[in-house]
């Protein structure tokens, strides 16, 4: 008995379906980002007109929900893309890690950087490595928030031979 993946015509149909699905998810993400802009506009208008707190809270929850949905869709799009590394020489790992962990701190936690005085450089894909650091820091923050309620994470960067 042959599986669907072993038949060339089925493989092609599955690839077409995957491409179409990624396009739909990408379009949905763009629509959500548009809605987020409108919600942000409404939040600012509500704040200026001193509307009741429950209205401000509702719009805030709406924006947070749109942010989470857009992030989830971004992950689906990212996982649907083929991995192609575009290595660059001399990528400064300390600087990349610092930027990525700083952005991860926007999730409501705190990232404390402890980097060595040594410069850590190598041939890496700047964007893929930065994304990996960002997701690791954000995941660590979420885990710490669940574990002890602080969300404070310490990240240490040092050369492998140190």
- The residue assigned the tokens 């660590």 is 140
* Cβ neighbours of residue 101 closer than 8 Å, sequence gap 6 or more: 111, 113, 133, 134, 137, 153, 155
Predicted TM-score (pTM) above 0.85: no
Is the per-residue pLDDT at 26 higher than 60?
Answer: yes
Question: What would the mean pLDDT of 24-50 be, rounded to a whole number?
Answer: 87
Question: What would the mean pLDDT of 56-71 be, rounded to a whole number?
Answer: 87
| Residue range 64-96, pLDDT digits in tens | 888 888 888 888 877 777 778 889 898 888 888
Is the per-residue pLDDT at 122 higher than 80?
Answer: yes
Strand (E) positions, 9-104?
Answer: 88-92
How many whole angstroms separate alpha carbon 105 and alpha carbon 145?
Answer: 12
How many whole angstroms separate alpha carbon 110 and alpha carbon 141?
Answer: 7
Q: Which residue, among 118, 115, 104, has the nearest Cα to 153 in the 3D structure? A: 104
Kindly list the domain boundaries of the chain, sorted by start residue.
4-80, 88-157
The pLDDT of residue 73 = 85
Contact assessment for residue 74 and residue 107, using Cβ atoms and an 8 Å cutoff? no
Q: Tell me the pLDDT band of 1, cut-offs 50, 70 and 90.
A: very low
Share of the chain above pLDDT 70, in %: 89
């Amino acid at each position: 008995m042959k599986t669907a993946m072993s038949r060339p015509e089925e493989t092609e149909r599955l690839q077409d379906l995957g491409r179409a699905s990624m396009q739909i998810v990408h379009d949905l993400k763009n629509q959500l980002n548009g809605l987020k802009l409108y919600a942000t506009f409404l939040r600012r208008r509500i704040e200026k007109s001193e509307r009741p707190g429950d209205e401000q809270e509702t719009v805030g929850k709406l924006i947070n929900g749109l942010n989470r949905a857009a992030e989830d869709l971004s992950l689906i799009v990212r996982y649907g893309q083929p991995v192609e590394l575009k290595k660059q020489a001399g990528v400064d790992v300390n600087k990349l890690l610092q930027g990525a962990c700083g952005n991860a701190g926007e999730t409501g936690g705190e990232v404390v950087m402890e980097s060595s005085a040594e410069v850590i450089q190598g041939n890496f894909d700047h964007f893929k490595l930065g994304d990996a650091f960002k997701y690791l820091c954000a995941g660590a923050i979420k885990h710490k928030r669940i574990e002890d309620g602080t969300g404070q994470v310490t990240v240490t960067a040092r050369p492998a031979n140190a």
